[in-house]
Each structure stands twice: as C-alpha cells, then as structure tokens.
Chains A and B, each alone.
Chain A
C-alpha cells in the first residue's frame, strides 16, 4: 500500500556545497540518499515529493560539516499481509517462483500454487496447467495475495499465494 507521509532526516552537508545553491544541493543529496531505501517501519521510500522545512544548520566540531534537520514529504510503499498485489515473475524454480512488485520481492512456494499447475523444468522453467492454457514463467504478470511479510530494519520480503479466487496469471508474455 502506498502512503504519502512526512519524514525527517538529519542531512550532513560538506562545506564545499555552501553558497547560493546550498538548498538545491541539500535537496539533491537528500533525494540521492533517501529514495529507494527501505525502512522496516515505513516501507520503501519511492519518491520525495516536496520539502516541508529545513531547520537551522549546526556546524560539527572538527569537520566543518553542517547538519540540517530536513522535513520532507514522500511516497512510501509498504506491503501488508492480506494485500493483493500485481507482480512480475522474476524467477521460477522447483520450489516455487519469485516475483517483484516494484521494490518488493515476493516468493510463492509451490504448495501455494494451485494444485493443477505443475512444474516443467527446462530452458524456460515454468508452472503449467495440464491443458497448457495457463503458464507461469519468467516475466509473466501475476496477481497474488501476500500471506506473510518479513520486515527487517532495512528490507522487506514477502511470501504470497496464488491459490485463491481471482489470483494467478493476468498477462502472459508468451501470448501477448
């Protein structure tokens, strides 16, 4: 799920950036530092949408670096248990398959794949129904439900299932 929230961060800026463009440099550095990171609490920071407030800088003793407390608005993505996501399959193996929904990786183990789909090894490993009408392979798009999340300080990993109504392949690259 996506959220638009305000976060705060202390930015350290090198003295060489001081000058007219201090603010621009600060924001550029913030984007470089923050976008794409993941915190267990808020999820993945997708994009910074604006700067709320930049506090007074504090010069660090000895280094000359200046610390600015910066408040910024950003879009974060946090997967939840029970959430339905659309994801792209990145890898298929005997144990199941991995998929990605934006920054988050999801593993679907083979017992959470419908019983009528079987693993076919080979050049392009895939799960196929007995009549061959539905095939899950690399780059397939699937709709899945998250049944478990593992949230560490700096990463989030999910396991999902496609063994439910309206879940499964939504767009097959082979037929498209």
Chain B
C-alpha cells in the first residue's frame, strides 16, 4: 500500500475512505463464494427453467426481451436485499463494528461502500441473465436499449438498497435473512417478475401496479423493449423510494440510539 505524505494531523479524504470501505466490503463478500454464486445464479437459473423451455416466449424476440428484463429486475432486488439487508445485520453483530466506529471516519464512507458494493452485485447479476438470453433465446433488441437497461440498474436499485438498509438496521442477522426472503419472493411474484402481469387476474394486476417491484419491472420492460408502459411506474417507484428512505433513516437512528447513544 502506498502511504500518503500528508501532514500528520490531516485526515484522509472522504472519497479515499469511501473507496477503502468499498474495496474491503467487496473483498469480504467475495471471500464467501457461495453467497456470491447463489446471488448471481438464481435469476439465470429461473430464466433457464421458466423462460427458455417456453417456445411462445423464448422464440419471440420482444417477448423474450421482456422476460429477460423481468428477471434482470429480480436480480437487482435480490442483490440489494441480500447484500444490504442480511449483510448489514450481520456486520452489526460483529464486535468489529464498534471498533471501526472508533477509526477516524464517519458513517458516510462506510455507507457509501455498502451502496457501491450492492450496485456492483446488481450489475454482475445481469451477466448470467444476459448470457443465457443471448445464447438460448431469440431475445433481441437494439444495442441502445440494452445499454438503457443496464443504465437503469442503479436507478431501480436505489429503493431496494434503502429497503435493505432498513431491514439490516432494524433486525438481528437471523431475523433479517428470514424477512428478506419473506419480502423478496412475494414482492417479486406480485410485481410480475416471474410471471408476466398480463397473465394476472384483474384484482392482482390492480394491486401489482402499486408495488415497487411492478414499477421497476414496467420501467425495465419499457426501456428494453420500447413497448409503451404504465405512466404511473415512475411516480410509484419514487414514492416507494421516499418511504424506504424514511424507514432506513428511522432504523439507523433507532439502532444508533440503542447501541451508541
């Protein structure tokens, strides 16, 4: 490691601290390969089992793209909720956590490290989905739409990162893992990430429109296929972002008050 030559009383900059925490959080996550593989694999496997065998979907370029966008959205949700929800809860239980708080860095750089790590995992989870889509389905769309879809990943990730933080700061590691699963799968199903919402009964479709998962899915499908989507998707997603941000701040403050007041 290179040593900075700054005067002894100076502090490391915010950015270098954020980069430090990002590197070590990525490193720690990668050291448990099964967690990474599990996270990356599930959306790809779902694509392989539920989409590839269905000729009606897999052989129609735009329909296939829609299915891929749905599972890509699921990959984002799952990476955010697991890396932040379960990850933060686990970290809080380690005796290393209070120690790190005595180092000369505020909460910001660590939080930034977590968020960047979450987004890196959201993006890397797209790789197997895209590979399978390219090789085994007829999915095809313009390169700009693919790029648009990838650019959408960090945007869609924000509300789910916040939800993950809220869960991670509010609960013990065991409870957080259970809650993440209990939130992730129903939300994904009702949001049309496994089954396209066109197949939903009317009442479920109505409920679905109010969910963050559905809003994220509609945006993803719209951007990647170019099909006209729901005008409500963006406002709904922003609304949930605000709600989850409030929950995350609340959970963080409560945890702070309990352990470090």
User: Do these two chains really belong together in a complex?
Assistant: no
Give chain B's interface residues, CB within 8 Å of chain A.
none
